[in-house]
Amino acid sequence: MADHDGLYHQLYSHPRMMADLIRQFVNEPWVADLDLDHMEAIKSKFHVPGLPKRESDIIWRIPLRSGPDVYLLVLLEFQSEPDRWMVLR
């Protein structure tokens, strides 16, 4: 994993940072139903014997005030330089 990927994982693995990101960028009424004070990061590092260690994107378990928990998979892609083919990924 590139250095900037590790930094992004550290940054967005903090509940307060994720809660702020959700509040600022998701302008939907259902966000008010998320209990962002009790969200929990889910383990996202995997190791299968015989294969290299793997780290997925960030996964959060977020309780709903009105029902069961929801799971949020955070897919943030940072580029160190412009990539005109990014849309095809």
Tokens of 10: 């550290």
| C-beta separation of 36 from 16 below 8 A | no
Tokens of 61: 């378990």
pTM for the complete prediction? 0.66
Does a structural domain hold residue 89?
Answer: no
Residue span of the structural domain in which 23 resides: 3-81
Does a structural domain hold residue 86?
Answer: no
Ramachandran angles phi, psi of 35, nearest 5°: -90, 80
- pLDDT per position as a tens digit, 43-87: 766 566 776 665 567 888 999 999 999 988 877 666 667 778 777
Total domain count, the chain: 1
Q: Which residue has the tokens 């949020």?
A: 72
- pLDDT per position as a tens digit, 12-35: 788 999 999 999 999 999 999 999
Q: Is 54 helix (H, G, I), strand (E, B) or coil?
A: strand
**Using CA atoms, how far apart are residues 14 and 56, in angstroms rounded to an integer?**
16
